A and B are shown apart, each in its own frame.
Chain A
């Protein structure tokens, strides 16, 4: 047996200097040789911690073995039997805290790059056998409505369709994919790849209705009355939070949702070829420390801002963003102003933001989130000149569906109450999963919730 190789094969990337000038994908993907070498590092241990660490329980050792053996169609089959969206997960899953975190090799060296291999398999399929389909169970005659076409909705739709149910997805926007289309930038999640995976879901027989705002064209009760046997709500967390400090409505101050939607969904980076504009200034401050803040900062660089700041009230250690994203942002030239909190915005006579007054913070005792609470340092106020501000403080669920659905209970935070194991809500026949239940989280946790709901919905439909 070959000696244990403790170093993972690096992922080819665009250089920082080159990539800040374009919106093309940063990580270029493994070559065949890279993938074979990385797959060969897997010791095929019996523990299978990786599969347990995966919210959708992909048979990771098996698909890696198939890559190693050069049987790519088999690798595709294994991967897709558990995960309908591998091209997406291979790119945006936080593998370092899931499957890779528990990899046996991780004890002595670098864990297997499972995410990169997953992406390699998805990309291989797209290139070599596009449009392949799994077996679909005989039609059950049951109809399911899925509200929202983000990661949770697509997963539920694909899996229920494979089980033989007739599925219709209702999407409010003009294109399917949810946050994968409007939120995550092209350079991390190419929109063509999202649409390939949406097309795959449609190829399973799923009907997709766009421009369909549930709560407006129909309520959930009306959907049930129209002959659907079950409803899954995967409406996400689409409502932006603001700071609620003076001057926040000045021109030039965006929610991250608006900034990213204009850039990604509406392709403002291609303005004026595309009609939707975005304000490109000199100095932008992105408020927040999560992945969305990193996305907004990195978009700003590519749009042409000269100085891009991340302004975050805690320290680097407490930043919720993935380490990889923080490193990418830093490499590209984003400037981090940590332990800093905006107090008010200052504007000119035409209503445009010109500066932001901030206060320095220090860390006190841990708060309910377990992170040390930031406390303002008295007398440390200072102003920084900015011409654009992006507020990336997080999002909460859109109330459109909950407020129009009788019997659907929500928490004080506006999230829909659903059983963790089944996704069952307080309303009979209605399931929910993803950010609408958890508040803003990850793509894969939404998909995991979708999987669990599928099992419960399927059992319900078969018993009906």
Chain B
């Protein structure tokens, strides 16, 4: 069992858990993920690592309530425990001095991009970050991302905070600007990563995305997370989660993310009904 040492509700539906997991904390690197299971009857789902503290032996994850598992996870309070916390899985994000790196994040993936931006900057890069949300109430970690970036642009879809619009608009402006962009890292909902990749492609700027397909074991055993990158089938859990966004078959990925839509809906409804939740 893995104890939640600290819980923070970043928005009503986005939560942060700091978890006691010394083995994972010892080796965690930016871009890696863990596989968790809430309880004995729970499914295994991947969550990206948002932070770690090797001395304290803790790992921080940030997740958004979407289906039954994330909603059930959101009912776990500080000092309570979850059944499984395995990692760090996947390959770390490749960090080196590229020059100018634009880090683009959408929604709760802000938590994933913060350690990447931090490491990129430590490696000597100039880091320009773009963070996008649906609306002002959902904005979190602006200070954290600002503290590891040379510049920060905030957008909201409805214009209630920062610039109005989606992240690809300022991304395109940066690419068209005078300053040469050497690398783009885009992390967020699949559709946001797809359009970020489509935005950068005409400029020929290498774009790294962090994919989030369905997973079970997270160690290369089952192959449910397979994704076409170029002409090759790769397993996101062991070959990724980072891939070249210009080569990912986005439509296939989005179809595969919907495999269990019907079952997930049924599962969520039953659960909400049985415990009288929203």
Interface residues of A (CB under 8 A from B): 172-174, 182, 211-213, 216-218, 238-240, 242, 244, 248-252, 254-255, 257-258, 261-262, 266-267, 271-277, 279, 350-352, 398-400
The one of A212, A275, A352 in contact with B68, judged by C-beta atoms closer than 8 angstroms, is A275
Determine if A217 and B222 form an interchain contact, defined as CB atoms under 8 angstroms apart. no
Which residue in chain B gives the minimum CB-CB distance to A262?
B216
Instruction: For A266, list chain B residues within 8 Å (CB).
Output: 43-44, 216
Mark interface residues in B229-261 (1 if CB within 8 Å of A CB, else 0).
000010000100000000000011001101110
Interface status of B170 (Cβ within 8 A of chain A) = no
Which residue in chain A gives the minimum CB-CB distance to B252?
A249
Determine if A239 and B86 form an interchain contact, defined as CB atoms under 8 angstroms apart. no
Interface status of B126 (Cβ within 8 A of chain A) = no
Interface status of B69 (Cβ within 8 A of chain A) = yes
- A190→B173 CA distance, assembly (Å): 61
Determine if B260 and A257 form an interchain contact, defined as CB atoms under 8 angstroms apart. no
Mark interface residues in B18-48 (1 if CB within 8 Å of A CB, else 0).
0000011011000000000100011110000
23 chain-A/chain-B pairs, Cβ below 8 angstroms: A172-B217, A182-B217, A213-B219, A217-B88, A244-B233, A248-B233, A249-B228, A251-B255, A251-B258, A255-B223, A255-B224, A261-B217, A266-B216, A271-B267, A272-B271, A276-B44, A279-B259, A350-B258, A351-B251, A351-B255, A398-B220, A399-B238, A400-B219
- A21→B275 CA distance, assembly (Å): 30
- A174→B38 CA distance, assembly (Å): 12
Instruction: For B85, list chain A residues within 8 Å (CB).
Output: 211
Name the residue in A213, A244, A273, A352 with the highest tally of chain B Cβ atoms < 10 Å from its Cβ. Answer: A213
The distance from the CB of B26 to the nearest CB of chain A, in whole angstroms, is 7
Interface size on B, residues (CB 8 A): 45
Interface status of B121 (Cβ within 8 A of chain A) = no
With contact pairs A266-B43, A351-B252, A351-B256 given, residues A258 and B267 touching in the complex (Cβ less than 8 Å): no
Interface residues of B (CB under 8 A from A): 23-24, 26-27, 37, 41-44, 68-69, 72, 83-89, 216-217, 219-224, 226-228, 233, 238, 251-252, 255-256, 258-260, 263-264, 266-267, 270-271
- A174→B216 CA distance, assembly (Å): 12
The distance from the CB of A398 to the nearest CB of chain B, in whole angstroms, is 5
With contact pairs A275-B42, A275-B267, A279-B259 given, residues A172 and B86 touching in the complex (Cβ less than 8 Å): yes
Determine if A274 and B41 form an interchain contact, defined as CB atoms under 8 angstroms apart. yes
Instruction: For B252, list chain A residues within 8 Å (CB).
Output: 249, 351
With contact pairs A249-B256, A251-B256, A276-B43 given, residues A257 and B222 touching in the complex (Cβ less than 8 Å): yes
Name the residue in B27, B83, B88, B223 with the highest tally of chain A Cβ atoms < 10 Å from its Cβ. Answer: B223
Instruction: For A182, list chain B residues within 8 Å (CB).
Output: 217, 221
Instruction: For A261, list chain B residues within 8 Å (CB).
Output: 216-217, 221-222
Determine if B270 and A272 form an interchain contact, defined as CB atoms under 8 angstroms apart. yes
Instruction: For B37, list chain A residues within 8 Å (CB).
Output: 174
Instruction: For B89, list chain A residues within 8 Å (CB).
Output: 213, 216
Which residue in chain B gives the minimum CB-CB distance to A170?
B23
- A238→B220 CA distance, assembly (Å): 8
Which residue in chain A gives the minimum CB-CB distance to B68?
A275
The distance from the CB of A208 to the nearest CB of chain B, in whole angstroms, is 14
The distance from the CB of B42 to the nearest CB of chain A, in whole angstroms, is 5
The one of A239, A244, A272 in contact with B267, judged by C-beta atoms closer than 8 angstroms, is A272
With contact pairs A266-B216, A275-B267, A398-B219 given, residues A258 and B224 touching in the complex (Cβ less than 8 Å): yes
The one of A213, A258, A273, A351 in contact with B216, judged by C-beta atoms closer than 8 angstroms, is A258
- A175→B254 CA distance, assembly (Å): 31
Which residue in chain A gives the minimum CB-CB distance to B32?
A216
Instruction: For B41, list chain A residues within 8 Å (CB).
Output: 267, 273-275
Instruction: For B68, list chain A residues within 8 Å (CB).
Output: 275
The distance from the CB of A305 to the nearest CB of chain B, in whole angstroms, is 15
Determine if A238 and B87 form an interchain contact, defined as CB atoms under 8 angstroms apart. no
The distance from the CB of A403 to the nearest CB of chain B, in whole angstroms, is 10
Instruction: For A279, list chain B residues within 8 Å (CB).
Output: 259-260, 263
- A173→B41 CA distance, assembly (Å): 14
Instruction: For B24, list chain A residues within 8 Å (CB).
Output: 217
Instruction: For A252, list chain B residues within 8 Å (CB).
Output: 259
The distance from the CB of B170 to the nearest CB of chain A, in whole angstroms, is 32
Instruction: For A277, list chain B residues within 8 Å (CB).
Output: 43, 260, 263-264, 267
Instruction: For A213, list chain B residues within 8 Å (CB).
Output: 86-87, 89, 219
Instruction: For B223, list chain A residues within 8 Å (CB).
Output: 240, 242, 254-255, 257-258
